[in-house]
Amino acid sequence: MPETDSVFETAVLLVDCPDRKGILAAIADFIYLHGGNVLHADQHQDNKRGLFFMRIEWDLKDFDLDRKSFQEQFEPIARDFQIDWQLELSRDIPSVAIFVSKYQHCLVDLLYRHQIGELKCKIPLIISNHPDAQVVAGHYGIPYHHVPVEKGHKQEAESAQVELLRQHSVDLVVLARYMQVLSGDFVSAYPRRIINVHHSFLPAFSGAQPYRAAFERGVKLIGATSHYVTEVLDDGPIIEQDVVRISHRDQVEDLTQKGRDLERMVLARAVRWHMDHRILCYGNKSVIFD
């Protein structure tokens, strides 16, 4: 994907509406008439359901609308085509909270990518139910909040977590091998804004101990899956998956080791695509505009 964001200020419009003739023309015209130079446009139709999806990105240099006037001017088109839309500006850097438990490989990976500029976001805080990752957080200069989750007191813990997220105006929650199941209340407060990584190629081996289950079944590939969290465990829209080959020589520990590399790549891609506004969900599936 082109690195235009680093050069220009750009806007991304995500569009979700019933399919109808003229949508592309209407939107392309609108952007052109207001001085925008389209950098990328990608669309997708679901013919069976009659749905239209689009991601369109343009250079803001000569664009004559700000966010507020865009809303006013675009509204008639949106109404006409029944468009569900979302405007994102490259200058609005999202705030990301990372949740972690004891395994730190995904956390370390995300923090390093952030440090070298691969992830264009702020990370105002890390939240963990364990104190272990404090040192790593310190090395990368990110405030660390230890919120223990004790049996029977998950609700208090979640209240504390949500309060922290609100204080820091968090846009996206990344579960970097966070081993607690979030409640429905928590999940519904951040719809399509919580990304998890599960260490199997879902839907195979959902739930606990997927590497052990994969070992027992004798599969020849293991996988990892990043997905949006919904109220049903391991069932949200899949964003990215990848696999690696294993053999009979690999024990559960070897699967765990090989899987770590998968997990961190699959999670990092999902986080990057989310922040680049490349993901649209409908039903329980994702469209990735790459």
Q: Cα-flanking dihedrals φ and ψ of residue 278, to 5°?
A: -100, 0
Binding to a copy of itself, residues 146-185 (CB under 8 A): none
Rounded CA-CA distance 62/248 in Å is: 60
Q: Segment 24-53, which members bind a copy of itself (CB under 8 A)?
A: 24-25, 28-29, 31-33, 35-45, 47
x/- mask, a copy of itself, residues 182-221, rule CB under 8 A, reads: -------------------xxxxx-----------xxxxx
Stretch that binds a copy of itself, among 80-88, 169-177, 181-189, 249-257 (CB under 8 A): 249-257
Query: Nearer to a copy of itself by C-beta: 86 or 284?
Result: 284
Query: Which residues within the stretch 54-83 sit at the binding site for a copy of itself (CB under 8 A)?
Result: 62
Taking CB under 8 A as the criterion, the residue among 95, 112, 132, 233 binding a copy of itself is 112
Q: Give the Cα separation of 268 and 255 in Å (integer).
A: 20
Rounded CA separation 116/3 (Å):
14
234 given a catalytic annotation: yes
Q: Which of 68, 79, 151, 249 binds a copy of itself (CB under 8 A)?
A: 249
**How far are the Cα atoms of 68, 79, 290 from residue 74, in angstroms, in the given order?**
10, 9, 25
Residues 268, 269, 273, 274, CA torsion sign: negative
Catalytic residue among 109, 171, 234, 276: 234
Is 141 among the residues that bind a copy of itself (CB under 8 A)?
no
Decide: 277 and 55 in contact? Cβ < 8 Å.
yes
Which one among 69, 82, 155, 257 touches a copy of itself, defined by CB under 8 A?
Answer: 257
Instruction: Indicate left, alpha or beta for 269 from its phi (over 0: left) and psi (-120 to 50: alpha).
Output: alpha
Residues acting as catalytic residues: 234
